[in-house]
Amino acid sequence: MATNGPAHGNGAQTSEFTVDLVGHGVDRPDAPDQVTVEASVDANHTFQLDINTPSDHGDWRLDVHVVRGRVKPQRAFQGRVPVVIDALPDWMDVVTEQTETRLLRGH
């Protein structure tokens, strides 16, 4: 996991990591094999996950809250199009779980 300088203005903190979805049991044609996640917290304490996938799965953004150590999506976008939280693909659960593990629990 790499920690970078400000990406979203002064005071932003970012962290980038890769999630191997196949290694976490997601091995289907409708899901990417892996994704790259850039997690950022800006000066306004907005926690955002930018999820980059292979081109056929599109790029995603989740605006999330951390509640009792769990990452909870509040708003979602595929590209710039809003997506209903309940309509997120199930592999997104692995992404949020890995975000919890890597960023909140320090693994």
Q: What is the pLDDT of residue 94?
A: 97
Range of the domain at 87: 2-104
Structural domain total, the chain = 1
CA neighbor of 87 nearest in space, from 52, 62, 51, 54: 62
Give the pLDDT means over successive 10-residue stretches in the chain (107 positions). 44 85 94 95 83 88 90 94 96 94 79
**DSSP letters spanning 53-84:** --GGG--EEEEEEEETTEEEEEEEEETTEEE-
Distances (CA, A) of 17 to 11, 40, 63, 68, 82: 20, 12, 17, 22, 24
Amino acid, res. 50: D
Instruction: In whole angstroms, give the CA distance from residue 98 to residue 90.
Output: 14
Q: What is the pLDDT of residue 106?
A: 72
Q: What is the pLDDT of residue 3?
A: 41
Determine if the pTM surpasses 0.95.
no
Instruction: In whole angstroms, give the CA distance from residue 38 to residue 68.
Output: 22
Instruction: In whole angstroms, give the CA distance from residue 88 to residue 43.
Output: 27
